[in-house]
Amino acid sequence: MKILVVGSGAREHALAWKLAAERAVSGVLCAPGNPGIAAVARCVEGDVANPRSLLEIAARESVDLTVVGPELPLSLGVVDLFAAERRAIVGPSRAAAALESSKAFAKDVMRRHGVPTAAFEVCDSAAAAYAVIASGALGYPLVLKADGLAAGKGVVIAPDRAGAEDAVRRTMVDRRFGAAGDRIVLEECLVGEEASYFVLADGTACMPLTSAQDHKRIFDGDRGPNTGGMGAFAPAPRLTPEMERRVLRDIVQPVLEAMAEEGYPFRGFLYVGLMLTASGPRVVEFNVRLGDPEAQVLLPRFDEDLSSLLSAAAAGALPSRAARFRREPHVGVVLAAAGYPDSVETGRVITGLDDAARVPDALVFHAATQRQHGTLVTAGGRVLTVVGHGTGYGEAIDVAYRAASHIRFEGMQFRRDIGRKALDAEAP
Ligand code: AMP
Ligand code: GLY
């Protein structure tokens, strides 16, 4: 089986690395890929913002199965395009991808089907938003979200009325997220620990995968602005087996049934972002793909052939059982460029990768790296994810940080507390 992985981050590196090692896989292509991915797959030019370029690659290279990493091509209808040409692909249709690309759509599905989530109002104008704020019905802090895709940056948690009105002004009047903020969702602020849960769906059936926990803020102790994710661990010990059953019964099943009933069956990875509140798990967001950096700690734990499950998902023939995972916890630390999550410096020389990769039980996945005249340099905000595993979280953390300690580039920043929450959760 020849597989095309779409994307160029550390999530796609983890996907390509896992697939390339499987017996049923004869070759992995990646569009556009990166220098780390090039060690396990053949990278081909392709534009994730241009689904037609991806279809052309799949046809030209006689690819048997395509798997999509990032949300953008999904929201642009890459799956619909492949389906029209009868080419196998794993991911939701454009209509089903609205679970991520429109927060108002996702909230509406949840409201209509009684799925536990934060109370909310959808507002199509600044005037409507000011009116909801003036009513005070959702309390403070108040959460404001741009409806459309905003790379994880379209959410503001406003402490009071002035802050909320200011956020409405910046999003809807100044349009700092462009058209993504022409509609906003105002939401009740949920309190608890965040965790995510993943399933693979085939349109009707769904295979439970596992949990993970991201570290979204830039600085230790969850301080500073939100990022795409500065590190992750899997599994998430606070998401107990009992809670996992509730998530599947009260959230995943009703949402997948609703999507099928309403004419947009969901196929692909569903990422359920949860707040573990005092009254149980509630949905913060859905993503229609694997998370990044969650994939980097989830995929190495996968204890069976991913390629055969992906083929089954694309064909609507997933077996009705949970996927098998290794017990060992994995911890992934993101090494980011100076300035991230705002504008970053690029072109900084990266050293120490070979020494890092030689640390037993460590893996290094590339994200924003680039080869310049034979030298590996930084090419964006999140540069690498360094993953460690061990018999416990403590060991996994040690391995990840030991491997990371070999890596250097000017301005490198990373959190020192990735995984600590898992240790706290385990402590008696
Ligand atoms: P989202 O893009 O919806 O995942 O939101 C980004 C981040 O904002 C989440 O990971 C949470 O940390 C935070 N957040 C979003 N919605 C809420 C909410 N209703 N209550 C508390 N925090 C939230
Ligand atoms: N790490 C969060 C995401 O992938 O959306």
**Domain identity same for 170 and 141:** yes
**Domain identity same for 143 and 41:** no
E strand intervals along 278-428: 280-287, 330-336, 362-366, 369-372, 375-378, 382-389
Q: What is the pLDDT of residues 340-369, one digit of tens each?
A: 999 999 999 999 999 999 999 999 999 999
pLDDT the model gives residue 172: 87
| 39 part of a folded domain | yes
What phi, psi does 275 have (nearest 5°)?
-110, 125
**Domain identity same for 309 and 375:** no
pLDDT the model gives residue 138: 93
User: pTM of the full predicted structure?
Assistant: 0.95
The answer to whether 143 and 125 have CB atoms below 8 angstroms apart is: no
Picking from 261, 280, 315, the residue at the C-terminal end of a domain is 315
Give me 170's structure tokens.
């910046």
Q: Mean pLDDT for the chain? A: 95
**Domain identity same for 214 and 301:** yes
* Mutation pick for ligand 2 pocket among 287, 298, 365 (CB with most ligand atoms within 8 Å): 287
Count of C-beta atoms within a 10 Å radius of residue 321: 9
pLDDT the model gives residue 426: 77
Sheet holding 2-7, edge to edge: 42-43, 27-32, 2-7, 65-68, 89-90
| 98 part of a folded domain | no
Query: Higher-confidence residue: 257 or 180?
Result: 257
* Domain with 14 in it: 2-90
Ligand 1: distance of its center to the CA of 293 in Å?
17
pLDDT the model gives residue 226: 86
The answer to whether 202 and 318 have CB atoms below 8 angstroms apart is: yes
**Domain identity same for 299 and 265:** yes
Residue 270, domain CATH: 3.30.470.20
| 291 part of a folded domain | yes
**Domain identity same for 246 and 175:** no
Largest CA distance in the chain: 61
Q: How many domains does the structure of the chain reveal?
A: 4
**Domain identity same for 166 and 81:** no
Handedness of CA 131, 134, 136, 139 (dihedral sign): positive
**Domain identity same for 349 and 376:** yes
pLDDT for 262 beyond 80: yes
Atom of ligand 2 nearest to the CA of 290: 4
Q: Tell me which ligand sits closest to the C-alpha of residue 217.
A: 1
Atom of ligand 1 nearest to the CA of 187: 19
| 118 part of a folded domain | no
Q: What is the pLDDT of residues 150-170, one digit of tens each?
A: 766 678 899 999 999 999 998
Q: Which residues contact 368 (CB under 8 A, 6 or more apart)?
A: 9, 34, 337, 346, 378, 379, 380, 381, 382, 383
Picking from 182, 203, 218, the residue at the C-terminal end of a domain is 182
Residue 155, domain CATH: 3.30.1490.20
Q: Report the share of the chain in percent with pLDDT over 70.
A: 99
What residue's CA is closest to ligand 2, atom 3? 291
pLDDT the model gives residue 253: 97
Say how far apart CA 295 and CA 308 lie, in whole Å: 18
Say how far apart CA 157 and CA 183 lie, in whole Å: 17
pLDDT the model gives residue 427: 66
pLDDT for 260 beyond 90: yes
Task: Summarize the confidence of residues 249-266 as an average pLDDT.
Answer: 96
Q: Tell me which ligand sits closest to the C-alpha of residue 152.
A: 1
Say how far apart CA 91 and CA 287 lie, in whole Å: 11
Question: What single letter denotes the amino acid at residue 244?
Answer: E
The answer to whether 325 and 389 have CB atoms below 8 angstroms apart is: no
Q: What is the pLDDT of residues 397-425, one digit of tens each?
A: 999 999 999 999 999 999 999 999 999 88
Q: What is the pLDDT of residues 233-256, one digit of tens each?
A: 999 999 999 999 999 999 999 999
Give me 259's structure tokens.
């999507």
Burial pattern 394-403, b for ≥16 Cβ within 10 A else e, equals: bbbbbbbbbb
pLDDT the model gives residue 152: 64
Q: Where does the pLDDT of residue 285 fall: very low under 50, low under 70, confident under 90, or very high at 90 and above? A: very high
Distance of CA 79 to the CA centre of its chain: 18
Task: Summarize the confidence of residues 330-344 as an average pLDDT.
Answer: 96
Helix or strand run (H / E) with residue 223? strand 223-226
pLDDT the model gives residue 225: 87
pLDDT the model gives residue 389: 98
| 225 part of a folded domain | yes
pLDDT for 428 beyond 80: no
Task: Summarize the confidence of residues 71-80 as an average pLDDT.
Answer: 97
* Mutation pick for ligand 1 pocket among 285, 292, 294 (CB with most ligand atoms within 8 Å): 285
Atom of ligand 2 nearest to the CA of 293: 1
Say how far apart CA 249 and CA 390 lie, in whole Å: 31
The answer to whether 280 and 244 have CB atoms below 8 angstroms apart is: no
Say how far apart CA 151 and CA 414 lie, in whole Å: 19
**3-class secondary structure for 255-318?**
HHHHHHHCCCCCEEEEEEEEEEECCEEEEEEEECCCCCCHHHHHHHHECCCHHHHHHHHHHCCC
| 395 part of a folded domain | yes
| 364 part of a folded domain | yes
Helix (H, G, I), strand (E, B) or coil at 347: coil
Give me 24's structure tokens.
């049923």
Residue 412, domain CATH: 3.90.600.10
What residue's CA is closest to ligand 1, atom 7? 155
Say how far apart CA 106 and CA 92 lie, in whole Å: 14
Ligand 1: distance of its center to the CA of 149 in Å?
14
